[in-house]
Amino acid sequence: MSVATTPAERLAAFLARTPYIAFLGMRAELAGDEMTAILPFSPHLIGNTMLPALHGGVLGAFMEMTALAQLAVITGGPRPAKTIDVTIDYLRPGRAMDTYARAEIKKAGRRISSVHVEAWQEARAKPVAAIRGHFQTPTEG
């Protein structure tokens, strides 16, 4: 396996190696070092057919994957970080439409990193959900 060197290569490697990311249908784009994750709407993401609304677990999982992707972009080891804990806040119903997320690494530690993520749909200023999480830096080899 070749070692990914640029942020774009590290992001592409993380997205491609994770089967669950393909299950969600998640993508991500880089503008310099700023990453935006995109979860295109798909009927299989619905958790409540009456509203309809995305499954809350999907929103939480999407934001957690966004945090892991951002960590892969910044730290760039061959293995993804491991989630220690996440606290998910649900702010508005996740509607049946595309969702976006950005992660902010509050602290990139040698062993443990702290990351905040917000997800939004129609307006960046009206997030649908947010997480705070701690992630364990993978050991090399």
Partner 1 sequence: MVKPPDFIAAMTGSLDEQAARHMVTRTPQTEALGFQFVSISEARGAIRVPWRADLVGDPETGVIASGVVTTLLDHVCGLSIRAANAVPQGTLDLRIDYMRPARPQADLIADGHCYKLTRTIAFVRALAHDGDPDDPVATAQAAFALIGGGA
For partner 1, the binding residues (CB under 8 A) are 17-20, 22-24, 43-50, 53-58, 60-62, 64-65, 79-80, 82-90, 93
**32 or 79: whose CB is closer to partner 1?**
79
Provide the minimum distance between the beta carbon of 43 and partner 1 in the complex, in angstroms, as a whole number: 6
Provide the minimum distance between the beta carbon of 83 and partner 1 in the complex, in angstroms, as a whole number: 5
DSSP annotation string for the chain: -PPP-SHHHHHHHHHHH-HHHHHHT-EEEEETTEEEEEE---GGGEEETTTTEE-HHHHHHHHHHHHHHHHHHHH--SS--EEEEEEEEE-S--BSS-EEEEEEEEEE-SSEEEEEEEEESS-TTSEEEEEEEEEEPPPP-
Provide the minimum distance between the beta carbon of 38 and partner 1 in the complex, in angstroms, as a whole number: 16
